[in-house]
Amino acid sequence: MRLAFHIAYIGTDFYGSQMQPGLRTVEGTVISACRDLGLFDDWRKAGFAFSGRTDRGVHARRQVCAFTTSCPDRAIARLNHILPWDCGCSGWAETDDSFHPRYDAETRSYRYYIYDDGSADPLRMQEAASRLTGTHNFSHFSRLDGKNPERTILSSHIHAEDGFYIYEITAPGFLWNMVRCIVSSIIAMGRNELDTDDMTALLNAAPGMRHVTPAPPEGLILWDIDCGITFTPLEGTGRMRDASTERTRFFETIKKVNWIMD
């Protein structure tokens, strides 16, 4: 049976999501747990896959993972019990044998938490965020590595909450570091370091514009991925620490790295 899981993780102590030899990664951690449970021997033969990569320090609320196993009941009942405190499953679904979480993902949403230190105008930040909807050339917002620089943004907005500005963006797909570069440009606009003409030039990939520096990874959360399937909630996401404690730790981390565009 092929299963999909919503995976949540605190990225602070992982070297990103993608497997890397000798390093603690989210994929490596989940694969190790699956092997310990006897869910599969070879992750390749099991078709193990995540919906996408997150960089070192980036967190996830609903990453999507899928694999094929002959022990689905054991996977659903036991996987959370052996995953570490900073990684766990929040939901599961039975899928078609052909399901691939990367290629079947319809939309991806990210949130970035920006500490409100009083230096940025929220109205200017929202103006910058609003300009991002639609199809644009994001050459100045990513290292392309030969990929098509055009991406279509379905929604882009910012709101205030608990002493932070929370930026949320949704699109079918993103380029490497694209969201973090977008956040930097929004903050720069809020601090009057960019104007509307600069933002337009960046989105038109105008020559002569400086490549945008990405915001720190610690404030970024892979918020949700829509793969067109319904997940059944799972209780007890791993042995994740008390939610209020981790919320405080997360917010304090954001405050410490709030040096964007200084």
Backbone angles phi, psi at 212, to 5 degrees: -70, 135
CB-based contacts of 143: which residues, under 8 Å, 6+ apart?
Answer: 175, 176, 177
145 is an active site residue? no
> Exactly one of 13, 41, 55, 97 is catalytic; which is it?
55
Own/partner pairs for 182-185, CB < 8 Å, 24+ apart? 182/132, 182/141, 182/156, 182/212, 183/112, 183/114, 183/214, 183/215, 183/219, 183/220, 183/260, 184/212, 184/213, 184/214, 184/215, 184/260, 184/261, 185/128, 185/141, 185/212
C-alpha 54/C-alpha 59 separation (Å) is: 8
Contact 108, 179 (CB under 8 A): no
What pairing do the DSSP bridges indicate for beta strands 164-171 and 107-115? antiparallel
Structure tokens given for 135: 């199809």
The position carrying tokens 């030039």 is 201
Structure tokens given for 198: 């600069």
Specify the DSSP element, H or E, that contains 198.
helix 196-203
Beta bridge partners of 113: 166
Residues identified as active-site: 55
